Structures are given as structure tokens and as C-alpha cells.
A and B are shown apart, each in its own frame.
Chain A
Amino acid sequence: DGGITQSPKYLFRKEGQNVTLSCEQNLNHDAMYWYRQDPGQGLRLIYYSQIVNDFQKGDIAEGYSVSREKKESFPLTVTSAQKNPTAFYLCASSITRSGANVLTFGAGSRLTVL
């Protein structure tokens, strides 16, 4: 079955540590995205990538970094510079359908800073 796999599902981190969240898709989608979800705030875009070896900052990129070395993979690193990293992180990919971009989401990764 085609889909998006995020790992780990749950992650605990001590303050000052960098952590990397994995996102892999086998949908052959060109574009991939990372969103952060906090209660009552909906989804906010962190980074997105439309093609391999290229990515752009979203609305809340500070304290995060990404890479896109392969079409299937778009890992997100939460650095120690991110002041409030505890959140639910969602990876998505998209294919243009009928002239619009419809996002398919992974199951999410919950990061908790201790």
C-alpha cells in the first residue's frame, strides 16, 4: 500500500538536544511538507520541498532544518534553537490534482521536551 510513514511516533528529548523526525513516502509525489500542530492553532507550515535538493521555509521555520536528498525522504531536525518544540509534527506529500494540490498526511510524530 502506498503512503507516508513517519517515525518515531513518540519521542522524548531533553532540553538542548537536537532530534530528527523521519518522513518517507512511496506515493511518487514530488512535493513534501512539514507542519506543526498545537492545540487550538490548526496546522502551521514549517518547511516544504517541491523537488529533490531544494526546499523553502514556511511560516515557522526558525529552530528547524530539513534536507531533501531523495524524492522519497524529507527528514526534519528540531534543533536546540527551537524555544518551544513540544508539539505534534505532521509530514505530508502532494500531487497536483485537477489543478490543485491535495495533501496526503502521515500519522504524525509527537515530540515532548522534558
Chain B
Amino acid sequence: GAVVSQHPSWVICKSGTSVKIECRSLDFQATTMFWYRQFPKQSLMLMATSNEGSKATYEQGVEKDKFLINHASLTLSTLTVTSAHPEDSSFYICSAKESGAYNEQFFGPGTRLTVL
């Protein structure tokens, strides 16, 4: 099946620093990638839709200047959490939708971010 990787798998940073998370589709091209966030014992919440070669679209309530998304190629999207604060600590998961596919998505393993 299709494989999506994320890097790093976990990161601990100091408050005020920026953290970049990479999402890669390893064996297929993804014109669209999605970024989700999951707080403990809660559902996955869609943050933004990342389209290759164009600006990301953000869900209501998600600050685009805080969560910078870049989708520079058909296999890579990055999420940068800028000036991270403890409340940004969460599990960030990306997914990739294969070009031409309907709505099935393949998810990465997630990145655990802890902001001290």
C-alpha cells in the first residue's frame, strides 16, 4: 500500500522556537496533503489542506501565520510551527491523497511535539 512518512517522529523544543515537520509520500505522487492535529483522547482535527504549487487553505480557527505550510513538490509538504508555545504541544499527523484518487488518504505515523 501507499506509504507516507513524517520526520521527526518526536520533537521537544523551548517556547518561542520554531519547529519544522516534514511529510513525504514515498511511493506515489500527492497533489494534496492534509495536516491534522490530535490532542490526547480527542479526535483528529483538520488544520489545513496543502496543495502542491499553491497556497495552503486553512480551517477556521487555525492561524496561518503560526502554522506555515509549504508543498513544494508532489511528494513533500512541510509544516512549520512558528514561535511555539506549550499549548501547541500535540500530535501532528499528515495525510496524502494520491493524484486522481477520490477521498482515500494515507496517513503518516505522526509527530509528537512537546513545547517546554
The answer to whether A and B belong to the same complex is no
A residues adjacent to B (C-beta < 8 A): none
B residues adjacent to A (C-beta < 8 A): none
